[in-house]
Amino acid sequence: MFEGQPKGLWTLAFANTGERFGYYTMLAVFALFLGENFGFSAGTASEIYTWFLTLVYFLPLIGGMAADRWGYSKMVVTGIFIMFLGYLLLSIPLGGNTVAVAAMGGALLLVSFGTGLFKGNLQVMVGDLYNDPQYAQKRDAGFSLFYMLINVGALFAPTAAIKIMEWAQNSLGYSKADSYHFAFAVACVSVIVSILIYYLGRPTFRQVLTVKKKDVKAEEPVEQMSKAETRERIICLCLVFAVVIFFWMAFHQNGLTLTWFADEFTATTSNGLQSMLFDVTNLVAVIVIVYALFSFFQSKTSKGKTWSAVLIGFAAAYLIYQYNHLSGSVNVSAPIFQHFNPCFVVLLTPVSIALFGWLAKKGKEPKAPVKIGLGMLVAAAAYLLMTFFSFGLPATDHPNHVADVSPNLLVSTYLILTFAELLLSPIGISFVTKVAPPKYKGMMMGGWFVATALGNKLVSIPGHMWDLPLYVVWGTLMAICLLAALFIFSIIKKLNKVA
């Protein structure tokens, strides 16, 4: 699974892991912060939240165009320094007055602009690693591994946010509203770690570092492509982008309506085996067991199998110890549910790679557009589950807690949404880097993020529907995912031609 990948993949992935850890630490509590610190209504909070996400994913288009002109590496470095300034400003507790609102707005602009320069261009650099013929067949697997590693950062983010807020409240005496700024400060530290990884690991990806366009001698020749083929590829990518819009609309409810559902409708305590799900160390132990099992069966040496077995034994012993020392119930905080998606991404990535690798050997691996269509169908299934179990629940009155639904509902929903994400997101990014005309690959990667941005803006629609019966909210999302799936399958032959 890990063999045969370019060394630069790991450096670029871990640099993104650090940045994503900070971003998701901030995002895990941001929607709740808007209500707690400023007293914003659900509608106002959803607008701020979705406009921020929109900018975060729209600005990579500008960042990609800038990188096509001035170089990807330069934009990556510039972006991460701008992000640092944004998180630094966001971490200063200024209260809930007009000045504080303005400062938050400025911080969000800096974070979104810095992300726009950093995120898409780093992924273009990852794609360029696979232009080497010896790695060409490993592109999809490489992006799946890249996606898995950046989710390692997201896995620990909700726990980090909650723990540092509790420390600020209990040990330092800060109010609940002010304690949010400590979670934002974690992001400042994480982007410092990210840039250190990037600079120290530059020798591993030196072959994809870009230079200014005027430096003709140092620039690699750009592959020439006919106008007709260029046009066809751009059209196909735009059609995929149209579907991606609605996936992200549905998926990024995790930070808004699904978090509100956790806060208002989901039990605030958990007991027994279920309670182990809310300790991130237990999830890490399960992840260790899964990866060690893959290593055990794939290892070609007895030493490798022995080490794998030892890891499995230690991780299993830890879980048994944790289970035997359970006592009473544990508190379940709404933001903690956001660690399930990255956990499932990390857990399921080797399964996904193994499954599609096995299908590839048999010549039956579906092409990227088919995977994307299947991802939309799976996303629809997630909201079918939420729709079914929301019948009979009382009307919401944010931010009051009105019901105690089992946490298993949200955990199951996040699991299904993760299946959809793995079929669509890393595969879609890989598809863009493969299909985009060489002259426009930065802009086309930016186009992927613009589609994500538009989807994130549409995230606010269910937020504005929050006073309606819940089965209407979730049923709307289910119907949108189904229609998007039908659309992509209706044009699948056209897309498969360029895949």
- Alpha-carbon distance of 193 to 305, in angstroms, equals 33
How high is the pLDDT of residue 229? 87
How high is the pLDDT of residue 450? 86
How high is the pLDDT of residue 399? 56
pLDDT band at 293 (very low <50, low <70, confident <90, very high): very high
In this structure, which CATH number among 1.20.1070.10, 3.20.20.70, 1.20.1250.20, 3.30.930.10 belongs to the domain 7-206+226-268+332-498? 1.20.1250.20
How high is the pLDDT of residue 215? 42
How high is the pLDDT of residue 398? 53
Task: Give percent of the chain above pLDDT 70.
Answer: 96
Q: What is the domain partition of the chain in residue ranges?
A: 7-206+226-268+332-498
How high is the pLDDT of residue 213? 42
* Residue 291 clears pLDDT 60, i.e. is over it: yes
* Residue 105 clears pLDDT 80, i.e. is over it: yes
pLDDT band at 104 (very low <50, low <70, confident <90, very high): very high
Q: Give the per-residue SS3 of the chain.
A: CCCCCCHHHHHHHHHHHHHHHHHHHHHHHHHHHHHHHHCCCHHHHHHHHHHHHHHHHHCHHHHHHHHHHHCHHHHHHHHHHHHHHHHHHHCCCCCCCHHHHHHHHHHHHHHHHHHHHHHHHHHHHHHHHCCCCCCHHHHHHHHHHHHHHHHHHHHHHHHHHHHHHHHHHHCCCCCHHHHHHHHHHHHHHHHHHHHHHHHHCHHHHHHHCCCCCCCCCCCCCCCCCCHHHHHHHHHHHHHHHHHHHHHHHHHHHHHCHHHHHHHHCECCEEEHHHHHHHCHHHHHHHHHHHHHHHHHHHCCCHHHHHHHHHHHHHHHHHHHHHHHCCCCEEECCHHHHHHHHHHHHHHHHHHHHHHHHHHHHCCCCCCHHHHHHHHHHHHHHHHHHHHHHHCCCCCCCCCCCCCCECHHHHHHHHHHHHHHHHHHHHHHHHHHHHHCCHHHHHHHHHHHHHHHHHHHHHCHHHHHCCCCCHHHHHHHHHHHHHHHHHHHHHCHHHHHHHC
* Residue 106 clears pLDDT 80, i.e. is over it: yes
* Residue 210 clears pLDDT 70, i.e. is over it: no
pLDDT in tens, 3-17: 778 888 999 999 999
Q: What is the mean pLDDT of the chain?
A: 87
How high is the pLDDT of residue 2? 62
How high is the pLDDT of residue 212? 43
How high is the pLDDT of residue 321? 95
How high is the pLDDT of residue 397? 58
How high is the pLDDT of residue 440? 81
How high is the pLDDT of residue 467? 85
Higher per-residue pLDDT: 71 or 218: 71
pLDDT band at 483 (very low <50, low <70, confident <90, very high): very high
| pTM: predicted TM-score of the whole model, two decimal places | 0.78
How high is the pLDDT of residue 490? 93
pLDDT in tens, 379-436: 999 999 999 999 988 876 555 777 889 999 999 999 999 999 999 988 888 888 888 8
pLDDT in tens, 449-461: 889 888 888 888 9
